[in-house]
Structure 1
């Protein structure tokens, strides 16, 4: 009888803690982008549709940086990949200084793009990095656990934004000061991580055939895109982040237009929705001990189709509560799709990670479509994410068959 696989090993614990902190860092920046979306509408007088270019700049960086980050990681290793990501993250944050001085929406988008290139690099590296810190059979649990702290960052981001941006004068000075602090903190983290010793890692996705049952050992002769479960994971991730980007981009607008909240109050509710996401990730990590990750993914996607339908009706509090619950059911989707897509990829794991990260570009494209509808009615715009969750539902439902055909 086989022993139950461990979550991780003691020699990996320090590195796991540090890498998990990175999930928190980009959670803060991701949700701050949604606060900036609304702030730029107020201060720089851009429309809802044009303000969606904030998300396009952030998520577009994932498309541009996905493959270069993967190649860098393959050539120089996980640790140097993390350091590159932190360097770009910090540089983008410091570029907010000249952007604020110039009061230029275009300059802000450039700064956000560079910052997001750092986030994309960290995300490309962090997922396979966390997966390698233990047994492959518990990689879903480790990635969901680490991603839960992305949810913590998502809670902190809107609180910081609501207090330091919406809570101050309607100008760009507070934005500049906030990002100076963020840039400095990230630079310190990069310096600290440069002194962390990473133990020798055995990639759990490319272990010897003796370590796992035959169904867990990939065929070495298969090309990357011959793995059907991986290809569908890329597509599912694109639609997943598309739904996330659109939902988050217009959350504060929904609170303002439908619930008649102030921007600051809507921002605090946005933070509450991130609490829901964090709870969902911890709950999902627990449930995966008893329910197959792919089946849980399909169930959560189906729930979100229902939530979006309620939100789109603009019923007031019932619809707004459904909007909060979207994040609960969204919680496990990104890390679970990522982990499922990397299963049985062997030595192609790092390359596969790059393509799944590139799927994040959906978060830049979808808000542009939702923004066109939101200019007329922000509630109606929430019909669109139903399409995304339908794709994720089918991925979860068919994953077991697709994965079997890949090995």
Structure 2
């Protein structure tokens, strides 16, 4: 009885983390649109926001795993929350100095915190309960990430995209002092939302600090971890790293550049586009809850195959379609992306025993795909002057996720067939 209560409280607290990092990640599309306009950036330069965010996952994932190995999940969560809050507060000097590199540095620090949080929270939620329901439990927790995805664009749109920004030509036509004043006013809009978020994260950190959490051991009796390289001995870990790299890359590109796509391809303004972004976040959330429900009746692996195929078909519509239907297809993709991250993660660490923390670090490390795929796709847009063509990269990413699901058929949970 006590154990069940402890697990319940731990699950509630850890699940709250999924909401917060989902919220901050889904402010990025608003931030990209805003900074692209304020600093008159190219598509490639604007994609550096994603690179700053997801480079942290590559650099910090293994140190995060080492922290957990030595000090446990709770210590990892507290360190992650501290860096998360610090990164939010750094947005204030970044705005005051009108420096795009400073914004990127603040995002990097913030994302170092997110890296440690995700490295800790994702495996922790899978082992807090019945192992046969690990995928279900992780998808449920990640559903609150989806809830944040539906709320963040609206909040960001109200407080950051308060009015339609000037075009690059309009900014260039301003005098030097007027241009500097305009950029200062635009960058200052981000200070309030990130400051408030930083304060909230500190409150959450205090709750974790004063709450006793169960110290779950993932080492099986008579077994010890083989280290980070040893975790690659597991086929599902190897495939999980590759699949997560390409999945996160495509998720980041789809969400981060949805507003830019709406503007460039369909001529929709940022003020109108934020509602499409909100719908995308809502579909992402609904997809997670529906996916969690379906996993009661079919394997997570089989559902991942179905969702991957649907995403590939919709990508073809985005690339070869015309008009508003391309935006509808792009928004619809978010529904089918919904279960991919948690399902890839859960299948990737499934059955690895003492190597769970190492495998978790490696799969979180592969989130660096979010720093690689968007700049690559953006470069194609700048070279071809056709944003739709860049979604051939997205199609390739979904094909790789499909291959991961197909190659992990042996990991299907027999109870869910």
User: How many correspondences in the alignment?
Assistant: 388
**Which deviates the most, 68-77 or 317-326?**
317-326
SS of residue matched to 1:134 = coil
In 1, Cα distance between equivalents of 2:4 and 2:329: 39
1:132 pairs, out of 122, 127, 141, with 127
What TM-score comes out, normalization by structure 2 length?
0.89
CA distance in 2 between partners of 1:218 and 1:269 (Å): 49
* CA drift at 1:56: 0.3
2:188 matches 1:179:
no
Give the counterpart of 2:409 among 397, 400, 403: 400
How far apart in 2 are the matches of 1:92 and 1:220? Answer: 34
The residue number in structure 2 matching 1:101 is 96
Matched residues in 2 for 1:140 and 1:91: separation?
A: 32
Gaps of 5+ in 1: 1-7, 210-216
In the alignment, the residues of structure 2 paired with residue 334 and residue 147 of structure 1 have an alpha-carbon distance, to the nearest angstrom, of 9
Q: Is the CA contact (8 Å cut-off) linking 1:218 and 1:344 kept in structure 2?
A: no
C-alpha separation in 1, matches of 2:300 and 2:164: 46
After superposition, the CA RMSD in angstroms is 2.1
Shift of 1:154: 1.2
1:279 maps to 2:301:
no
For each residue in 1:271-315, what CA deviation from the matched residue of structure 2 results, as whole angstroms up to 9, or x when unmatched? 110110111111111111121111111111111010111011242
Residues 262 and 273, structure 2, Cα contact 8 Å, conserved in 1? yes
State the distance in 2 between where 1:169 and 1:310 align. Answer: 29
Which of 326, 338, 348 is 2:355 aligned to?
348
Matched, 1:296 2:303: yes
1:368 paired residue number: 375
Question: Quick check: 1:379 aligned with 2:374?
Answer: no
Match of 2:118 in 1: 123
**Alpha-carbon distance in 2 for matches of 1:56, 1:350:** 25
Q: Pick closer, same or farther for the CA change 1:137–1:401 going to 2, 3 Å.
A: closer
Question: Distance in 2 between the 1:369 and 1:219 partners?
Answer: 36
> What per-residue deviation string (whole Å, max 9, x for no partner) do you get for residues 133-154 of structure 1?
1011111011000000001111
| Deviations, residues 98-128 of structure 1 (Å, cap 9, x unaligned) | 1001111100000000000111110000011
- Displacement of 1:201 in angstroms is 2.6
In 1, distance between residues paired with 2:116 and 2:360? 11
Is 1:149 aligned to residue 149 of structure 2? no
Instruction: Write out per-residue CA displacement over residues 33-79 of structure 1, whole angstroms, 9 at most, x where no aligned residue.
Output: 12111111110111111100000000111111100011001111111
Map 1:172-211 onto structure 2 (within 5 A): 172-203=187-218, 206-207=219-220
Residue 228 of structure 1, CA deviation: 0.9
Q: Distance in 2 between matches of 1:154 and 1:116?
A: 17
Q: Distance in 2 between matches of 1:45 and 1:254?
A: 17
Alignment of 1:232-251 (within 5 A): 232-251=239-258
Is the 1:239–1:362 Cα contact (8 Å) retained in structure 2? yes
Structure 2 CA distance, aligned partners of 1:48 and 1:75?
A: 42
Change (3 A) 1:220 1:66: closer
Q: What is the Cα deviation at residue 208 of structure 1? A: 5.4
TM-score by length of 1: 0.91
Q: Give how far 1:207 is off.
A: 4.5
Distance 2:189 2:12 in 1: 31
Pair 38,169 (structure 1): closer, same or farther in 2 beyond 3 Å: closer
Kindly tell me: are residues 314 and 271 of structure 1, through their superposed partners in 2, closer, same or farther at Cα, counting changes over 3 Å? same
- 1:390 is matched with 399
CA distance in 2 between counterparts of 1:90 and 1:168 reads 27
CA displacement at 1:267 relative to structure 2: 1.6
For structure 2, the residue ranges without an aligned partner over 5 or more in a row are 166-185
